[in-house]
């Protein structure tokens, strides 16, 4: 416990672990990009970050998909895991660990949490009879299902078909955790964000909790139940446990576990809030393990239905999107366009608009114009500024205030608000630059021209540092052409106590944010 308090600037965050029953889609890309931006933000802000992602490989859905493809579940997983890893690499994801639930460390960890829950008296043998959706890997009460137009019984919430299951099963005494969960939501009001998601969960829990079936006997692709190996664990028991496996569970005395658990943040989609905000804390309480600090539920992304660019091809494939528009451009688009926590749309037109308006025009042109003027008028040597005018002071003050605003927004994962604040300053800086007209000052007042270019470069420095979590490569390039040393790019360099160095020699500027030009159609 002492380790945990001493190393207070540590931060453990996770994505959901994806089912590798197919290739990664845009939702997977969105989640891992957003989580990566948060991880990079916290690292730049001085935190010792551990970022875990991975794949959820057991369960009936994997078995069924594999069978349809004429493969074994393991084989299907291996093929698709390679695609998830390739996507992470392509999208420049900075995870520290990639967990596969088929790994030995995870089997050990899942058996250990099971045994702890059992030792606590929360696991008992009985018979399950009820509805199960393989697509959702979820049990539903009859009242949560309905008949669709074809007479198929489906989950009301998700529309996926359910099947009747009647078999011997181990149960988890979830009913015993109703009050403890409600107490948790009250004690930690931001345990789930956005707030509305917590309200939904709390009202579900208030409605009463049934004990949960946590083992299956009709297939064997999963983790055997300790002491009763004809049962395998319900896939969600093992899946959720990945978050503690990733920091060394069951070795709770390990340096890793002591340092990083409880997790600061689980980033997940809105369809799996109940698993993370009800089952997961209940399992942990039962096992005597601390609960995570926060679950953030992001929204779903939808293709607006518009045809994407010809060069994009398959729009479902995030790698094709990154190839077409650029990795940093795609990351920026998702994180700026979609308020984090809400659903969003993507379309060719919307992506191109962000690339051209925000990146090429607003930020790219300002950098290109000011830095090429510095190249020509000052031989690329950063001028020493004269006394700052009121206009200079105003734009610098707005820039210096950004890091504080960014931290405040990031405290509740409002990534889009961080970008909104930064781009508001970029817009101010464009007005400043146009108003000061340094190209006119070239003839009338070169010292003043140098001051304007200096102030503009300082704004660009802070903007580029702050936008690194979202666009690591492009911002790195912008900081290169501003001659900002590699070890002076973290958030401790922001806020105005440090300024861009006069006298530094800038490399020749090259455009960082190219315009999107529609490819010619034949």
Q: Name the minimum Å distance from CB 271 to ligand ME8.
A: 5
Residues with Cβ < 8 Å from 334, sequence gap 6 or more?
Answer: 29, 30, 33, 34, 301, 344, 346
Report whether 53 contacts 15 (CB < 8 A): yes
Q: Name the minimum Å distance from CB 23 to ligand ME8.
A: 11
Helix H or strand E encompassing 44 = helix 26-44
Q: How many residues bind ligand ME8 (CB under 6 A)?
A: 18
Q: Pattern of binders to ligand ME8 over 55-74, x per CB under 6 A?
A: -x------------------
CA distance linking residue 366 with residue 156, whole number of Å: 52
Determine the interface stretch with ligand ME8 among 10-18, 169-177, 204-212, 369-377 (rule: CB under 6 A). Answer: 10-18
Q: Pattern of binders to ligand ME8 over 346-365, x per CB under 6 A?
A: --------------------
Residue 266, beta-bridge partner list: 14, 295
Q: How far is CA 258 from the centre of its chain?
A: 24
271 near ligand ME8 (CB under 6 A): yes
Tokens 């510095």 correspond to: 374
| Pair type for strands 123-133 and 138-140 | antiparallel
Nearer to ligand ME8 (CB atom), residue 193 or residue 272: 272
Determine the interface stretch with ligand ME8 among 37-45, 64-72, 159-167, 237-245 (rule: CB under 6 A). Answer: 237-245
Angle between helix 390-400 and 415-436 (nearest 10): 170
Determine the interface stretch with ligand ME8 among 156-164, 264-272, 393-401, 452-460 (rule: CB under 6 A). Answer: 264-272
Residues with Cβ < 8 Å from 58, sequence gap 6 or more?
Answer: 73, 101, 102, 221, 222, 223, 232, 233, 235, 238, 239
Q: Name the minimum Å distance from CB 132 to ligand ME8.
A: 16
CA distance linking residue 512 with residue 3, whole number of Å: 43
Binding to ligand ME8, residues 297-336 (CB under 6 A): 300-301
Determine the interface stretch with ligand ME8 among 166-174, 199-207, 235-243, 327-335 (rule: CB under 6 A). Answer: 235-243
Nearer to ligand ME8 (CB atom), residue 177 or residue 340: 340
Out of 11, 12, 13, 17, name the contact with ligand ME8 by CB under 6 A: 17
Out of 11, 12, 13, 18, name the contact with ligand ME8 by CB under 6 A: 18
Report whether 147 contacts 138 (CB < 8 A): no
Nearer to ligand ME8 (CB atom), residue 56 or residue 458: 56
Q: Which residues are at the interface with ligand ME8 (CB under 6 A)?
A: 16-19, 27-28, 30-31, 56, 239-240, 242, 268-269, 271-272, 300-301
């Amino acid at each position: 416990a002492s380790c945990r308090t001493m190393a207070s600037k540590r931060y453990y965050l996770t994505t959901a672990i994806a089912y590798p029953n197919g290739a990664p889609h845009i939702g997977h890309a969105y989640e891992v990009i957003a989580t990566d931006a948060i991880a990079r933000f916290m690292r730049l802000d001085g935190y010792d970050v551990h970022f875990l992602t991975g794949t959820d490989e057991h369960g009936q859905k994997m078995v069924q998909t594999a069978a349809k493809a004429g493969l074994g579940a393991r084989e299907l997983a291996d093929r698709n895991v390679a695609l998830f890893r390739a996507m992470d690499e392509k999208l420049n994801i900075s995870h520290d660990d990639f967990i596969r639930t088929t790994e030995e460390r995870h089997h050990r960890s899942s058996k250990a949490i099971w045994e702890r829950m059992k030792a606590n008296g929360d696991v008992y043998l009985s018979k399950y009879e009820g509805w199960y959706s393989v697509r959702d890997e979820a049990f539903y009460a009859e009242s949560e299902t309905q008949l669709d137009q074809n007479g198929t019984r489906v989950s009301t919430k998700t529309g996926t078909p359910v099947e009747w299951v009647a078999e011997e099963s181990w149960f988890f005494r979830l009913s015993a955790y109703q009050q403890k969960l409600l107490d948790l939501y009250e004690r930690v009001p931001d345990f789930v964000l956005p707030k509305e998601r917590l309200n939904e969960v709390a009202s579900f829990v208030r409605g009463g909790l049934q004990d949960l079936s946590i083992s299956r006997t009709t297939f064997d692709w999963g983790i055997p139940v300790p002491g009763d190996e004809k049962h395998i664990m319900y896939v969600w028991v093992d899946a959720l446990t990945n978050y503690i496996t990733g920091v060394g569970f069951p070795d709770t005395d390990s340096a890793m576990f002591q340092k990083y658990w409880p997790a600061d943040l689980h980033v997940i989609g809105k369809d799996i809030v109940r698993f993370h905000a009800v089952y997961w804390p209940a399992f942990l309480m039962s096992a005597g393990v601390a609960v995570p600090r926060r679950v953030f539920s992001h929204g779903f992304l939808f293709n607006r239905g518009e045809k994407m660019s010809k060069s994009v091809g398959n729009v479902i494939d995030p790698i094709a999107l990154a190839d077409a528009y650029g990795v940093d451009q795609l990351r920026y688009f998702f994180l700026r366009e979609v308020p984090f926590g809400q659903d969003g749309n993507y379309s060719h037109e919307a992506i191109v608009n962000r690339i051209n308006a925000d990146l090429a025009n607003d930020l790219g042109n300002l950098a290109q114009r000011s830095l090429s003027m510095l190249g020509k008028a000052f031989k690329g040597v950063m001028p020493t500024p004269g006394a700052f005018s009121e206009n200079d002071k105003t734009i610098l003050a707005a820039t210096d205030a950004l890091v504080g605003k960014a931290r405040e927004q990031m405290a509740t994962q409002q990534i889009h608000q961080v970008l909104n604040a930064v781009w508001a300053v970029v817009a101010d800086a464009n007005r400043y630059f146009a108003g000061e007209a340094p190209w006119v000052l070239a003839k009338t007042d070169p010292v003043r021209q140098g001051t304007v270019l200096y102030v503009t470069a300082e704004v660009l420095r802070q903007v580029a540092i702050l936008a690194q979590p979202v666009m690591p490569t492009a911002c790195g390039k912008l900081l290169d052409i501003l001659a900002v040393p590699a070890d002076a790019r973290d958030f401790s360099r922001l806020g105005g106590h440090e300024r861009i160095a006069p006298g530094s020699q800038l490399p020749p500027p090259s455009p960082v944010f190219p315009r999107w030009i529609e490819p010619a159609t034949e």
